[in-house]
Amino acid sequence: PGMESIKFEAIAAQRTGAIDLEAGTIKGVSLISTPEAKGHGMSIDQKSIESFHAAVSEKTIKAYYTHNDNEAFDTIGLWQNFSIIEDNGETKLTGDFEALKSWKENKKEEYDALFELAEKAPEAFGVSAEFTGTKVFYNEDEEEIEYSGQEESGKLFARATEVQAFSIVATPAANPTGLFSEGDESNDKQLSAAVSE
């Protein structure tokens, strides 16, 4: 019950012009998406996305190459410029990735492989959110209640309070359309990310 550390994994479809190998940037990456986090027993709704946006807004978040016990040594870049978008019926949190110069210079094969995959097969991998948060459910009156082990809670939804990292992974769970949004960036409808206090 209460706060817990959770790792979601997810995949995303490429936007034209989102990848710049020389600059080491990938823009408009889908970080987490509705409607579910497969294998975690939780769903993702609009308020879930808003909670993630509130947790990362105006911050820079670390990017790891994968989940493991030495994550501090696997930092490959940073995430920033977060937005909430509507894409093909799903609500997503997106962000821009910028590779660390040290990773590009010292792990060139990994660097080149990531950018080639992002360009040629963005659906083949994705992003995993590592965060601290809570689970909630809605009662019959559609009131949001924090989950603390209630047996008859129904569907559970994620709420993020702090995001530690977004990692690159092979089998993501909360980002069903891949590394990018499906539509062209100019067609994405920007949504309000305001969360009432």
Tokens 């019926």 map to which residue? 89
User: What does the pLDDT read at residue 125?
Assistant: 77
Structure tokens at 172: 């993501």
Interatomic CA distance for residues 115 and 111, integer angstroms = 6
As a whole number of angstroms, the distance between CA 186 and CA 2 comes to 40
Whole-angstrom distance, CA of residue 24 vs CA of residue 101 = 8
The helix (H) or strand (E) run that includes residue 67 is: none
The backbone region for 41, taken as left when phi is positive above 0, alpha when psi lies in -120 to 50, beta otherwise, is: left
Q: Which residue has the tokens 């995430």?
A: 79
Identity of the amino acid at 89: G
pLDDT, tens digit (0-9, with 9 covering 90-100), for 29-82: 999 999 988 777 889 999 999 999 999 999 999 999 875 554 556 799 999 999
- Tracing tokens 């590394």 back to the chain, one arrives at 179
pLDDT of residue 197: 25
Is the pLDDT confidence value at 149 over 50? yes
Q: Is the four-CA dihedral 182, 120, 131, 28 of positive or negative sign?
A: negative
Predicted pLDDT at 67: 54
Residues 180/12, Cβ–Cβ less than 8 Å: yes
What are the distances in angstroms from CA 69 to CA 105, 167, 168, 173? Answer: 23, 13, 15, 20
- Residue 146 class from Cβ within 10 Å (0-12 exposed, 13-18 middle, 19+ buried)? middle
Question: How far apart, in Å, are the Cα atoms of 114 and each of 104, 109, 148, 175, 189?
Answer: 11, 9, 40, 18, 28
Q: What is the pLDDT of residues 100-140, one digit of tens each?
A: 999 999 999 999 999 998 888 887 778 888 899 999 999 98
- Alpha carbon distances (Å) from 184 to 14, 18, 63, 189: 9, 10, 25, 11
